[in-house]
Amino acid sequence: MLEAAAHAAGWTARPSASHLSDAEIVTGRGIAVGTHHVSYGAAVAEVEVNRRTGEIVAKHLYGALDCGLAVNPSLVENQIVGMMVQATSRMLKEEVTFDQKGVTSTDWVSYPVLRFAEHPA
């Protein structure tokens, strides 16, 4: 799965921290593999970081999934895309907030999730 995700992303090996830049907006990439029940999945993320504002943008994600027999490949693709979007949302935006009385995340403003304009391609 790692190889499939790396292949999809056109990954080429390079030493860590060999792509440093002083520009305001810098780019980076990451790769990971994981399991859920009996499935293996892997993903490559290409991100932009604005070093001045701290804003992070997930530009492109590439996913690979060994799900077993794919009865409906289109639905499987939906799931791969969906989990990459949800993972981006969790990493960059989602956080339950509290005050001394309880949860203060009560709607889509106080609990922001990834929006349409922010989705990785």
Cα distance between residue 31 and residue 29, in whole Å: 7
Pick from 11, 59, 16: which is nearest to 31 by CA?
Answer: 11
CB 19 to another protein: min, Å: 26
Cα distance between residue 1 and residue 7, in whole Å: 10
Q: Could you give the string, one character per residue 33-72, with x where binding to another protein holds by CB under 8 A and - elsewhere?
A: ----xx--------------------------------xx
Cα distance between residue 13 and residue 21, in whole Å: 18
What's the sign of the alpha-carbon dihedral 88, 91, 92, 94?
positive
Angle formed at CA 116 by CA 115 and CA 121, multiple of 5 degrees: 115
Return the residue of 12, 18, 74, 100 that touches another protein, per CB under 8 A.
74
Rank residues 98 and 116 by Cβ distance to another protein and give the closer one: 116
Binding to another protein, residues 21-40 (CB under 8 A)? 37-38
- 98 lies in the site for another protein, by CB under 8 A: no
- 78 lies in the site for another protein, by CB under 8 A: yes
Q: Which residue has the tokens 């292949």?
A: 7
- 77 lies in the site for another protein, by CB under 8 A: yes
Give residues in contact with another protein (CB under 8 A).
37-38, 71-75, 77-79, 81-86, 89, 107-109, 113-117, 119-121
